Structure 1
Amino acid sequence: MKLKICGMKYPENILEVGALLPDYMGFIFWEKSARYFNGTIPELIKTIKKVGVFVNQSLEEILEKVVKHNLQAVQLHGNESVEFVSELKKQLSKKIEIIKVFSADENFDFEIIKPFEPFCDYFLFDTKGKLPGGNGTTFDWSILKKYNSKKPFFLSGGIGMKELKAIEEISKSSLPIYAVDVNSKFEIEPGLKNRNLFSNFKRKFDVANF
């Protein structure tokens, strides 16, 4: 199972956390976010995939950021349509991954994700809340039993140290969980991550060998 840390903002902190070798590192390019990234991403170890996070933004803006920051993945965190994702896939290099996010609660209908399957590399399930992401709470993971797709997905939403045991349990199921996505539970303030706390989490995550 892969590990993604999202909402990175400050260059020195990016390098500190990058030294711990997460598989993915996310940068939010949505201006209304407290974790909005508007700088230059420092050079990271090449095994770390840089993810651009977008919320209902134009194709032009996404493509511009992909080129500017040499992104390896695009995460769509808004209400993007199937048609939009299809067109984005056509215009992106085949090497660039597309991650489509869905905000989940107990009433989530997994049927709505099916039309997106041909155009996404991964789905990501986050907690439904006031904000598109970074709400700091988990959703009821038992609803994932209704997941009826073979498409691998990222698990997100308020994941911290206390959730490791539950992640271990869910990893034993037949669900195609590809990665765990962490953010707010490892912050000193929005966008600034606690390196030591994340280091401790990653060490236990790696030992668990999901």
Structure 2
Amino acid sequence: MKLKICGMKYPDNMLEVGLLLPDYMGFIFWQKSARYFDGEMPDLPKSIKKTGVFVNESIQGIEEKVIKYDLQAIQLHGQESVAFCSEIKTKFGASVEIIKVFSADENFDFSVLEPYESVCDYFLFDTKGKLPGGNGTTFDWKILENYPSSKPFFLSGGIGIEELDSVAAILKTDLPIYAIDVNSKFEIEPGLKNINLVRTIRELSLRENK
């Protein structure tokens, strides 16, 4: 299991979290988010994949952030089309991973995933809510039993310390879970991560990888 810490905002906090070597660190470039980031990014360990989170952004806007912050992954959290993802994939090739987000609830139609399989490296399932992300609530993971693909995916949506037993349990299934994505339940305030809580889930991810 890989670990993504999303919604980073403050450089000193980024360095603290960076010392724990999560696999991915997410930066939200959607201006309506309380975790919107538009500052200076410190030097982070090379093993951490810096991930830009975008919501219905233009290709030019994404490219500007990829270049400015040397991003290794792009997370598309809006209504981006298959054609849009394909264009992004063509532009960046293998140098930048593409993670396409889908908001899930009990009525989620898994057939919508198929056209995206060839234009994305990973899917990410988040809780369907009022905001594109960061709603702080989980969805019923049992619906993932209907997952029809072998495409690895990130599991997200309101994961906190209270959910770690459930996380450990779902990781023991045959689902192709690639990573766990955490955000709001590991914070002191929006964008400021609680280093002790992050350390706890990092230790879990390392145990699961043994």
TM-score (norm 2): 0.98
In the other structure, the counterpart of 2:174 is 174
- Which AA in structure 2 matches 1:65? K
Q: Is the 8 A contact 1:74 1:98 kept in 2?
A: yes
What do residues 72-115 of structure 1 show as CA deviations (whole Å, max 9, x unaligned)?
00000000011111111111132210000000000000000110
Q: 2:98 & 2:164 partners in 1: Cα distance? A: 26
Q: Is the 8 A contact 2:106 2:143 kept in 1?
A: yes
Q: Is the 8 A contact 1:138 1:157 kept in 2?
A: yes
Q: 1:98 & 1:208 partners in 2: Cα distance? A: 24
In the other structure, the counterpart of 1:27 is 27
Q: 1:200 & 1:48 partners in 2: Cα distance? A: 18
In the other structure, the counterpart of 2:95 is 95
**Stretch of structure 1 that moved more, 63-72 or 86-95:** 86-95
Superposed CA RMSD in Å reads: 1.0
What do residues 21-56 of structure 1 show as CA deviations (whole Å, max 9, x unaligned)?
100000000101000000121100000000000000
Q: Is the 8 A contact 1:164 1:205 kept in 2?
A: no
The 5 A counterparts of 1:72-111 are: 72-111=72-111
- Which AA in structure 1 matches 2:11? P
TM-score (norm 1): 0.98
Q: 1:117 & 1:33 partners in 2: Cα distance? A: 28
In the other structure, the counterpart of 2:52 is 52
Aligned length: 210
Which ranges of structure 1 fall in alignment gaps of 5 or more residues?
A: none
Residue 146 in structure 1 maps to residue 143 in structure 2: no
In the other structure, the counterpart of 2:36 is 36
SS at match of 1:126: strand
In the other structure, the counterpart of 2:207 is 207
Name the CA shift for 1:131/1:83 in 2 (closer, same or farther; >3 Å): same
Q: 2:171 & 2:201 partners in 1: Cα distance? A: 16
Q: 1:97 & 1:191 partners in 2: Cα distance? A: 23
In the other structure, the counterpart of 2:71 is 71
In the other structure, the counterpart of 1:13 is 13
Instruction: Give identity over the alignment, percent.
Output: 68
- Which AA in structure 2 matches 1:49? K
Q: Is the 8 A contact 1:54 1:76 kept in 2?
A: yes
Q: 1:165 & 1:152 partners in 2: Cα distance? A: 21
- Which AA in structure 2 matches 1:180? I
Query: How far apart are residue 196 of structure 1 and its match?
Result: 1.2
Residue 188 in structure 1 maps to residue 188 in structure 2: yes
SS at match of 1:103: strand
In the other structure, the counterpart of 2:122 is 122
Query: How far apart are residue 208 of structure 1 and its match?
Result: 3.6
- Which AA in structure 2 matches 1:186? F
